[in-house]
Amino acid sequence: MVDEEAGHEREARAYEAVHEAADFTELKRRYKNFVVPWTIAFMAWYLAYVACNNWARDFMSHKVVGHINVALIFGLLQFVSTFVIAAVYGRFANRKLDPLAAGLNAKYKRERRR
């Protein structure tokens, strides 16, 4: 029981040390600065698609090639934009977030061993 309590205390100390680190604040800042604008952009694009489907039916039903209309193209572009944003985020995370997270993970492990 004493060992378990000591383990919990070490865990709590390690967590606090990581939480108070400047790198943790920087990690959260970088994440937020990426996610918020991209989320707003995607939601605006998605809502524009939905709005056009509801209130711009003539535009959305305009045939581009054969039976392919603007609505179908916009719908497929929703998938494309989702995958593009995911790829951009993956690259961003690998370059800007993962190095900070690895350092914080190492700090956590060091603090836990104390």
pTM of the model: 0.85
Q: Which domain holds residue 94?
A: 2-113
Confidence of residue 6 (pLDDT cuts 50, 70, 90): confident
Helices (H), the chain: 2-20, 22-55, 57-60, 70-92, 98-113
Q: Token pair of 96, please?
A: 């800007």
Q: What is the pLDDT of residues 10-57, one digit of tens each?
A: 888 888 999 999 999 999 999 999 999 999 999 999 999 999 999 999
CA angle centred on 79, ends 52 and 97, rounded to 5° = 120
Per the structure, how many domains does the chain have? 1
